[in-house]
Amino acid sequence: MGKYNDKVEWLDAPYKWNQYTVFSELAQELKDADIVLFISYIWNADLIDQFAKYMQEESPEKIRVIGGPHIGIHDHELLNDRLRLYDYICQPTKPGELFVEDLIDQWFESSHKPLPSKIRWELRSDLK
């Protein structure tokens, strides 16, 4: 995916949440990740936000990204919480693949500090 595909190592998604008893076990599987992608549905929103908060406290150097249908566009309190928890937010109903491609390109081109304004469909970007 993208112009830096040969420099990216994708880790398997830890999706079997019932095998973890504490967040530190899940974080151990993601210890080599620089960027962690979350997808938010109504049924997992509280759980991923709790884990994102854990990561923010324990591994603040990791970039936290959220996408999916349950972002909080129509719930200002939820959206404000997420703006504090996640470094990047993909607009709901937009293709996450292009968003992630821009994010990765920016990662390599901006000294590992992607600019939200240069990422298509990032909530704070004007790019379309």
pLDDT of residue 127: 77
59: exposed, middle or buried (C-beta count within 10 Å: 0-12, 13-18, 19+)?
Answer: middle
pLDDT of residue 19: 86
Secondary structure of residue 81 in the 3-state scheme: helix
d(CA 21, CA 10): 24
Percent of the chain's residues with pLDDT above 70: 98
Query: For the whole model, what pTM was predicted?
Result: 0.91
* Cα-Cα-Cα-Cα dihedral sign, residues 35, 80, 69, 89: negative
Residue 27 predicted with pLDDT over 80: yes
Mean pLDDT of 32-57: 95
- Name the band, by pLDDT with cuts 50, 70 and 90, for residue 1: low
pLDDT of residue 104: 94
Mean pLDDT over the full length of the chain = 91
Tokens, residue 104: 């990765």
Q: What is the DSSP letter of 117?
A: G
Name every residue whose Cβ is closer than 8 Å to that of residue 69 and which is 6 or more positions away in sequence. 40, 41, 42, 92, 93
- pLDDT tens digit sequence for 70-108: 999 889 999 999 999 999 999 998 889 999 999 999 999
Q: What are phi and psi of 81, to 5 degrees?
A: -60, -45
